A = this chain, B = another copy of it.
Amino acid sequence: MTARLPARFTAPRAATLPPVSPRPTLRDVATAAGVHPATASRALNEATRSLVRPATVERVREVASALGYQVNPIARSLKTSRSETVGVLIPDLTNPLFPPIVRGIEDALGASGYTVLTANTDNDPARESSNFAAMQARQVDGFIVATARLDDPLMHEAALRGVPMVMVNRQTEQLDVSVVAGDDATGIARTVDHLVGLGHRDIAHVAGPLDVSTGAVRLRAFRTAMQGHGLPDDRVVVAEAYSEAAGRTASLELLDGAVPTAVVAGNDLLAIGSYDALEERGLICPDDVSIVGFNDMPFIGRLRPPLTSVRVPQYELGVEAARLLLDRLSGRTVTPRVVLLPVQLVVRGSTAPPRG
């Protein structure tokens, strides 16, 4: 029996296109192939394909591609209550840190047929909750969360209930969810090594906000590294946010006391703020003060002076997070893992031996 297509699909495309294109349905395929919709479904579905006779599979698939059939994911989701969709929560796409991460996530998930829903929370608990809820309503299969606020009750409860979730670039001890992040501690240690190697002894740290995990982690790493060199670990000022302005404020505070010969900034943005502060005080980088950033943002090497920074493999962070989530979704892995990706100190013009 040859597959006969319903007239509406074989009709030649008129020069004046009809306003709406009726997508063929599974039933259309089934009748055209002379089988029951259930059989067509099984034939088209990877997992159930083995249940139907090879010849039938072949026929159905041919008809399906002839009709240009594509399964309707909505209907499928309704039935299976899975959506092949994951939600990605980030604070702000405009922050240069996140685009590469998101891109990595989309590439990795897309390769497995998943699509991603992103939302910006601006670290606002209300936005975060509503976005999270909206995504849950849309039946996302899991989450990748780049915002620290796991104290959000909704998210916290969801995590406890076993909603698949992996955190990226942020850590949390309170809950066992998978985490992928850069190896911040090592990055900071290398930074301090580098500065000490140049001859610096009076090294200060402009820390990021301590309620954000990276802020706390890097601060602790700084203290440890300094102690390891037998140097004072208390030259620390905490910025209120990971922003240029906060970095400037914090740095000015620092400069009001004894001026250190080197500053380890918790972040590239904070480092830029330090640039500003130095300029305001008439100090020159690196002649008077060396500065090191963190993240190695795009074009940061073209600043005046080029910023020495710790390169974090952001794209790979995203890819790895996606992979972890996929493992979890496929049921392969259940136990949470912590993956730390190696970072690399990129030395540029903002660090030099201390004057005199």
Out of B78, B100, B303, name the residue touching A75 (CB < 8 Å).
Answer: B78
- Tell yes or no: A157 within 8 A of B by CB: yes
- Tell yes or no: A123 within 8 A of B by CB: no
Is B103 within 8 A of A137, CB to CB? no
- Tell yes or no: A331 within 8 A of B by CB: no
Cα A187 to Cα B15 with chains together (Å)? 40
Cα A88 to Cα B71 with chains together (Å)? 21
Out of B92, B115, B160, B303, name the residue touching A134 (CB < 8 Å).
Answer: B115
Q: Which residues of B sit under 8 angstroms from A53, Cβ to Cβ?
A: none
Is B74 within 8 A of A139, CB to CB? yes
Is B72 within 8 A of A137, CB to CB? yes
- Tell yes or no: A254 within 8 A of B by CB: no
Copies of this chain assembled into the complex: 2
Looking at A16-24, A29-37, A214-222, A338-346, the stretch in contact with chain B turns out to be: A16-24
- Tell yes or no: A118 within 8 A of B by CB: yes
Q: Which residues of B sit under 8 angstroms from A125, Cβ to Cβ?
A: none
Is A94 within 8 A of B83, CB to CB? no
The distance from the CB of A149 to the nearest CB of chain B, in whole angstroms, is 18
- Tell yes or no: A67 within 8 A of B by CB: no
CB within 8 Å of B: which A283-310 residues: 297-300, 302-305
Whose C-beta in chain B lies nearest to the C-beta of A269?
B299
Is A137 within 8 A of B78, CB to CB? no
Q: Which residues of B sit under 8 angstroms from A71, Cβ to Cβ?
A: 137
Is B161 within 8 A of A17, CB to CB? yes
- Tell yes or no: A52 within 8 A of B by CB: no
The 8 A CB mask of A72-107 against B (1 = contact, 0 = none) is: 111101100001000000001110101110110011
CB within 8 Å of B: which A1-17 residues: 17
Is A74 within 8 A of B78, CB to CB? yes
Q: Which residues of B sit under 8 angstroms from A98, Cβ to Cβ?
A: 99
- Tell yes or no: A186 within 8 A of B by CB: no
Is A17 within 8 A of B157, CB to CB? yes
- Tell yes or no: A120 within 8 A of B by CB: yes
Q: Which residues of B sit under 8 angstroms from A135, Cβ to Cβ?
A: 115
Out of B99, B138, B300, B315, name the residue touching A74 (CB < 8 Å).
Answer: B138
The distance from the CB of A39 to the nearest CB of chain B, in whole angstroms, is 22
Cα A156 to Cα B333 with chains together (Å)? 43
- Tell yes or no: A70 within 8 A of B by CB: yes
- Tell yes or no: A196 within 8 A of B by CB: no
Q: Which residues of B sit under 8 angstroms from A93, Cβ to Cβ?
A: 93, 99, 102-103, 106
- Tell yes or no: A116 within 8 A of B by CB: yes
- Tell yes or no: A272 within 8 A of B by CB: yes
The distance from the CB of A273 to the nearest CB of chain B, in whole angstroms, is 12
- Tell yes or no: A175 within 8 A of B by CB: no
The 23 listed contacts between A and B (C-beta, < 8 Å) are: A19-B161, A20-B161, A21-B161, A70-B137, A72-B137, A74-B77, A93-B93, A94-B99, A94-B100, A94-B103, A96-B96, A98-B99, A103-B120, A106-B120, A110-B119, A115-B138, A116-B118, A275-B302, A297-B299, A299-B299, A299-B300, A303-B303, A303-B304
A-B complex: 7 closest residue pairs judged by Cβ atoms? A304-B304, A93-B99, A70-B137, A17-B160, A74-B77, A19-B162, A93-B103
Instruction: With A17-B161, A20-B161 given, name 13 new contacts (CB 8 A).
Output: A17-B157, A74-B138, A93-B102, A94-B315, A96-B99, A98-B99, A106-B118, A110-B119, A115-B119, A117-B117, A275-B302, A299-B300, A304-B304
